Chain A
Amino acid sequence: MIPNIGKPLDRVDGRQKVTGGARYATENKLDRVTYAALVDSTIPAGTIKSIDVAAAKKAPGVLAVISHLNAPKLNPPPPPKPGGGGEQSSSLTESKYLPFSDGTIHYLGQRIAVVVADTLEHAMHGAELVRVTYDAAPARTDIEKYRGEAKDRSQQQPSAFTKGDADAALAGAAVKIDQIYRTPHEHHNPMEAHGLIAAWDGDHLTLHDSSQNIFAVQRTFATLFGIPKENVHVLSPFVGGAFGSKGGVWPHVVITAMAARVVGRPVKLTVTRKQLFFANGHRPQTEQRVALGAGSDGKLVSIIHEGFGQGNEVCSFVEGFTAPTRVIYASPNMRGFHHVVDLNLPSGTYMRGPGDSTGMFALDSAMDEMAYALKIDPLQFRLINHADQDPMSGKPWSSKSLKECYARASERFGWSRRTPEPRSMRDGRNLIGWGMASANRPAHRAPCSARALMRADGTVTVSCGSHEMGMGTATVMSQLAAETLGIPAERVRFEYGDTKLPTAPISAGSLTAASVGSAVFGAASELKRKLGELAGTDPASLDPNNYTAILRQHYLDHIDAQFDAKPPMEDPYSSHAFGAHFVEVAIDEDIPVVRVRRIVSAFAAGKILNEKTARSQCYGGIVWGIGQALLEQTHLDTKLGAFTNVNFAEYLVPVNPDIQSIDVILVEENDPHINPIGVKGIGEVSIVGVVPAIANAVFHATGKRVRDLPITVEKLL
């Protein structure tokens, strides 16, 4: 039975975080700690001819300068298992190139040497004194030039999907839309920069890292250094934002562990804000063609979504922008793929709503264009094409409340008062635009273990090596255990972020609440079962007030239970979180900078564990969507092969006055099939669809269709 959960409990670690009491990875104090500074490649392609370290080595405080010339040899990790399932032995983001393994330059900003010194200042000074010369090779940096070389390279599943004959259906369709949409490079740059402290004790390695995936870090280092997994201890109790960028092991983590081995002392490394723009992942640039065919009744007969994104030779990430297209609308014919073009540019990686957010921009912009071509209200058009079952697999949904999301958000927004003609709504100097879009995100779940321990005083510790990156895991898991046991949440403490705790999956893909929650619920239920067994009664009829008495009667100072939660091997259902966004923009007609006045969004994501943290997740996703639509872009100088706006003054994210009214509706949804707690995860569905809703509102306001992000003033002048 799904427990009664969802209260808007305050964050259990809120006070620690706002008072500075929360200790992040590089804030740990270790004896004899040393400091590392990275040296990065200044060319995008070629080989290192020489590295002159004489001056650096003589500089005050410098203990070591390490590069491919003198780096300890590491065990190359075995290639990832096909299909991506199971426990991978490595989560190196750049799986095809170990740092410092040779003098090859794959992209500008590649980490090519590290200086270790007794202070941070000495390390930075030393790093500036390292002189590198190169044999430069012609660099591939301009995606337009190499578009013909786009290729399939999906890790998880083939990128291509097909159903019916989409091309023939398009050719015969009464109404057609066929357009190209483009998204730029974007960077996560979390407030807590990537960083770690690595310390060796003989063959034991301790890593205080900022990670979304500590057990993968553990496995990776066991492999690289040829030591038992148990010898690698990874701690990551607080993560100051990650958004996908801390899901794998980036070169600097390997380099720091290597450096600690060389100097025989703990080494601390913090990647600088600028360096974070070069080798810690980004959402790669994409070019997407969306072609839609519809009958004059408004029913889609064909969907084609195909294109490519930037990749490189050292990592296998693909921006999977066709993901939402396989799920969100019904069509008898559909096909598509997302390919990559390998360039001499830094590695892409997962970034909040990877694939879904970029792909939905293209798809739901095209849907809006089609709605106009058909002269059907955009909301009505989506209702006509609602997918009653999973369009590709044909499976039933485990639950789906998209129609209710549309209904509730459009009602609260006042959508029925919209006049459809572009430029038909005004407020003084401002053109007003109303736009909408759909959202979806797969509800994933991965195996996870948890332990629950109750002491004789009635306090409970629940343990699971998961992660708290700001989404509220520690809070909702305490809450879930407390509510399962029927005790106040204050009596429960959730331990996490440590590989000595029961194994948890990566915290990504919006799977944490469902995966960790299922394990925590299982462990707490198992604890309750054991208490019932001791008391000789049905656990369901236990009075929580008697827990301590039961322990005392049996002379126990504690009782504990472990639970290994596993998703079913074969799932007869397709599971997704869904949502809908309705947006109002105001655009000064003479000076057309787009301002978002209000957004009303509704989401249906199964059971909500904590209304407050869930809403915060949604606000975060929507704010990010506003930034993605209007501001975010990393400029690339293709001649230099360099990103140029590599700081927070020029890489723009929204500031307070950019964010006006955001109204989030959480649609109640009971999903009896998805997992024991009925939870889908809400971290990413909230960003998906914000961008096209804004782009569609911009069209409604101005009559201009902007198909390349972000929607900046020059595109509307």
Chain B
Amino acid sequence: MNPFDYVRAREVSGAISSGSRADAKFIAGGTNLVDLMKCGVERPAHLVDVNDLKLSGIERVSGGIRIGAMARMSDVARHPLVLQSAPAVSQALLASASPQLRNAASIGGNLMQRTRCAYFRELTFAPCNKRNPGSGCAAIDGENRMHAVLGGSDSCIATHPSDLAVAVAALDAVLTLHGPHGDRHVAAADFHLLPGTTPQTEHDLKHGELITSVFIPDAPHTKRSAYLKIRDRSAYEFALASAAVGLEISGGTIHSARIALGGVATKPWRAKFAEAALVGKQPSKEVFRDAAEAEMKSAIPHGQNAYKIELAKRTLVRALSDLAGGAA
């Protein structure tokens, strides 16, 4: 319980100036931030509520669809534009959390959610470089069944938890970030950062900046896209492994492929090696398996999470096979 104050922003400009104060945090659905405040991991002095901002539109724009950052997960998941143009995004959202959480949580907030690593969430007895830089990582040789095999470092192997972030990273989405100096645009695949030696820095959003929208460009591999999530129980659980995949196939040949992996990496993992291994090939289980092998070559197991390397491969092969359908 840390005292904080609270303002409800009416305009984006007001939100930015309130949110630029030291120790200020934006709050939208609050499904992650409030939880982390209860754990004591997040201790903002000021909460700036952005729920009233007019940022919840979902619309067709030139070259793609634009989703306002304040749109709720449930609204985006069921929106006809999203279902038609980017089915992987809808599927990723519907595989996330629970209906109640999806009704509350925003798209921008979803991309900003933080890891479920137990050591990150535990203040009193666990070291964590992300929460307390330099204190060490208890996960690397600890309870790491859920941890990342891709993109880890000696400092951190915490898994990025979002499903949506994986889908938008795969589909070349672009985020609009609004700050004191106006808008800038960042590719979704580049937005989240590898932990390296600074696991506390998780993304390319400057203090005081706000995600205002997500643009998903039209493409054949976006229209033909899917999201497959594997988990222990059938719903309401973070991924053990997931794959967002998009394919453009014509004349029996893969012309373009978009792939990102979730549940196995420290950030939404755009799988460039796998994509490269597919282009120009005829879809088949063997080709998909080779692509998965190519991507997972750099994976590093840490004991309990070693199974994720094989599981990720099989998840990707399954997602691609299902998407290719009769073509595989």
Query: Known: A649-B238, A650-B116. Contact between A591 and B311, CB under 8 A?
Result: yes
- Are the C-beta atoms of A713 and B233 separated by less than 8 Å? no
Q: Which of B52-66 contact A (CB under 8 A)?
A: none
Which residue on chain A has the smallest CB distance to residue B236? A655
- Are the C-beta atoms of B138 and A639 separated by less than 8 Å? yes
A359 → chain B, closest Cβ, in Å?
25
Query: Known: A128-B40, A644-B122, A713-B240. Contact between A637 and B143, CB under 8 A?
Result: yes
**Interchain CA distance A363-B146 in the complex, whole Å:** 31
Residues of A within 8 A of B143 (CB): 635-637, 644-645
**Interchain CA distance A42-B122 in the complex, whole Å:** 11
Q: Which of B212-263 contact A (CB under 8 A)?
A: 230-238, 240
Residues of A within 8 A of B121 (CB): 647
- Are the C-beta atoms of A121 and B124 separated by less than 8 Å? no
A126 → chain B, closest Cβ, in Å?
9
User: Which listed residue, B1, B122, B317, touches A125 by the CB 8 Å rule?
Assistant: B1
- Are the C-beta atoms of B307 and A717 separated by less than 8 Å? yes
Does A201 count as interface, using CB distance less than 8 angstroms?
no
Does A409 count as interface, using CB distance less than 8 angstroms?
no
Q: Which of B116-143 contact A (CB under 8 A)?
A: 116, 118-119, 121-122, 124-126, 138, 141-143
Does B8 count as interface, using CB distance less than 8 angstroms?
no
Residues of B within 8 A of A40 (CB): 124
Q: Which of A103-129 contact B (CB under 8 A)?
A: 108, 121-122, 124-125, 128
Does A328 count as interface, using CB distance less than 8 angstroms?
no
B199 → chain A, closest Cβ, in Å?
18
**Cβ proximity bits A178-199 to B, threshold 8 Å, 1 near / 0 not:** 0000000000000000000000
- Are the C-beta atoms of A714 and B233 separated by less than 8 Å? no
B137 → chain A, closest Cβ, in Å?
12
Category for how many chain A residues contact B = 35 or more
Does A549 count as interface, using CB distance less than 8 angstroms?
no
**Interchain CA distance A124-B314 in the complex, whole Å:** 46
**Interchain CA distance A212-B244 in the complex, whole Å:** 49
Residues of B within 8 A of A647 (CB): 121
Which residue on chain B has the smallest CB distance to residue A108? B125
Residues of B within 8 A of A654 (CB): 233
**Interchain CA distance A630-B116 in the complex, whole Å:** 21
Does A656 count as interface, using CB distance less than 8 angstroms?
yes
**Interchain CA distance A637-B307 in the complex, whole Å:** 19
Residues of B within 8 A of A121 (CB): 1
User: Which listed residue, B40, B125, B146, B315, touches A591 by the CB 8 Å rule?
Assistant: B315
- Are the C-beta atoms of B1 and A656 separated by less than 8 Å? no
Does A593 count as interface, using CB distance less than 8 angstroms?
yes
- Are the C-beta atoms of A43 and B125 separated by less than 8 Å? yes
Category for how many chain B residues contact A = 35 or more
Which residue on chain A has the smallest CB distance to residue B3? A125
Query: Known: A42-B125, A639-B142, A640-B125. Contact between A712 and B232, CB under 8 A?
Result: yes
Q: Which of A553-597 contact B (CB under 8 A)?
A: 590-591, 593, 595
**Cβ proximity bits B295-308 to A, threshold 8 Å, 1 near / 0 not:** 00000000000110
Which residue on chain A has the smallest CB distance to residue B142? A637
Does A48 count as interface, using CB distance less than 8 angstroms?
no
- Are the C-beta atoms of B314 and A650 separated by less than 8 Å? no
**Cβ proximity bits A612-656 to B, threshold 8 Å, 1 near / 0 not:** 000000000000000000110001110110101111011010111
Which residue on chain B has the smallest CB distance to residue A129? B1
User: Which listed residue, A591, A655, A658, touches B230 by the CB 8 Å rule?
Assistant: A591
A600 → chain B, closest Cβ, in Å?
21
Residues of B within 8 A of A642 (CB): 122, 125-126
Residues of A within 8 A of B3 (CB): 125
- Are the C-beta atoms of A635 and B232 separated by less than 8 Å? no
Residues of A within 8 A of B231 (CB): 593
- Are the C-beta atoms of A646 and B118 separated by less than 8 Å? yes
Q: Which of A649-708 contact B (CB under 8 A)?
A: 649-650, 652, 654-658
Residues of A within 8 A of B118 (CB): 635, 644-646, 650
Query: Known: A121-B1, A646-B118, A650-B116. Contact between A591 and B233, CB under 8 A?
Result: no
- Are the C-beta atoms of B235 and A593 separated by less than 8 Å? no
A672 → chain B, closest Cβ, in Å?
45
**Cβ proximity bits B1-40 to A, threshold 8 Å, 1 near / 0 not:** 1110000000000000000000000000000000000001
**Interchain CA distance A717-B312 in the complex, whole Å:** 11
Residues of A within 8 A of B40 (CB): 128
A691 → chain B, closest Cβ, in Å?
16
- Are the C-beta atoms of B234 and A717 separated by less than 8 Å? no
Residues of B within 8 A of A636 (CB): 143
**Interchain CA distance A108-B236 in the complex, whole Å:** 29
User: Which listed residue, A590, A640, A645, A658, touches B138 by the CB 8 Å rule?
Assistant: A640
Q: B1, B2, B317, B318 — which one has the most chain A CB atoms within 10 A of its CB?
A: B1
Q: B40, B236, B315 — which one has the most chain A CB atoms within 10 A of its CB?
A: B236
- Are the C-beta atoms of A631 and B232 separated by less than 8 Å? yes
Residues of B within 8 A of A125 (CB): 1-3
Residues of B within 8 A of A637 (CB): 126, 138, 142-143
Q: A124, A591, A646 — which one has the most chain B CB atoms within 10 A of its CB?
A: A591
Q: Which of A283-297 contact B (CB under 8 A)?
A: none
User: Which listed residue, A645, A657, A658, A714, touches B307 by the CB 8 Å rule?
Assistant: A714
Residues of A within 8 A of B232 (CB): 593, 630-631, 652, 712-713
Residues of A within 8 A of B79 (CB): none
Residues of A within 8 A of B237 (CB): 649, 652
B303 → chain A, closest Cβ, in Å?
11
**Interchain CA distance A121-B37 in the complex, whole Å:** 13
A530 → chain B, closest Cβ, in Å?
55
B94 → chain A, closest Cβ, in Å?
12
Does B78 count as interface, using CB distance less than 8 angstroms?
no
A175 → chain B, closest Cβ, in Å?
34
Does B145 count as interface, using CB distance less than 8 angstroms?
yes
Does B154 count as interface, using CB distance less than 8 angstroms?
no
Residues of B within 8 A of A591 (CB): 230, 311, 314-315, 318
User: Which listed residue, A108, A595, A712, touches B234 by the CB 8 Å rule?
Assistant: A595
- Are the C-beta atoms of A590 and B236 separated by less than 8 Å? no
**Interchain CA distance A654-B232 in the complex, whole Å:** 10
Q: B138, B233, B307 — which one has the most chain A CB atoms within 10 A of its CB?
A: B233
**Interchain CA distance A714-B116 in the complex, whole Å:** 20
A139 → chain B, closest Cβ, in Å?
12
Which residue on chain A has the smallest CB distance to residue B306? A714
B155 → chain A, closest Cβ, in Å?
18
Residues of B within 8 A of A645 (CB): 118, 143
**Interchain CA distance A714-B314 in the complex, whole Å:** 12
A634 → chain B, closest Cβ, in Å?
10
**Interchain CA distance A593-B233 in the complex, whole Å:** 8
Query: Known: A591-B314, A714-B307. Contact between A650 and B125, CB under 8 A?
Result: no
User: Which listed residue, B116, B142, B307, B317, touches A713 by the CB 8 Å rule?
Assistant: B307
Residues of B within 8 A of A646 (CB): 118
**Interchain CA distance A473-B14 in the complex, whole Å:** 58
**Interchain CA distance A101-B116 in the complex, whole Å:** 36
- Are the C-beta atoms of A640 and B126 separated by less than 8 Å? yes
Does B310 count as interface, using CB distance less than 8 angstroms?
yes
Residues of B within 8 A of A42 (CB): 124-125
- Are the C-beta atoms of B311 and A713 separated by less than 8 Å? yes
- Are the C-beta atoms of B314 and A590 separated by less than 8 Å? yes
- Are the C-beta atoms of B124 and A657 separated by less than 8 Å? no
User: Which listed residue, A43, A590, A630, A644, touches B119 by the CB 8 Å rule?
Assistant: A644
* 5 pairs from A and B in contact (CB 8 Å cutoff): A630-B233, A635-B143, A649-B236, A656-B235, A713-B311
Contacts A125-B1, A630-B233, A650-B146 known; list 17 others, CB within 8 Å.
Answer: A42-B124, A108-B125, A121-B1, A590-B317, A591-B311, A593-B232, A595-B234, A631-B233, A640-B138, A642-B126, A646-B118, A649-B236, A652-B237, A654-B233, A655-B236, A657-B234, A717-B307
Question: Which residues in A have some Cβ–Cβ distance to B below 8 Å?
Answer: 40, 42-43, 108, 121-122, 124-125, 128, 590-591, 593, 595, 630-631, 635-637, 639-640, 642, 644-647, 649-650, 652, 654-658, 712-714, 717
The 10 A-B residue pairs with the shortest CB-CB distance in the complex, in nearest-first order: A714-B307, A657-B234, A644-B118, A125-B1, A42-B125, A124-B1, A635-B143, A42-B124, A644-B143, A655-B235
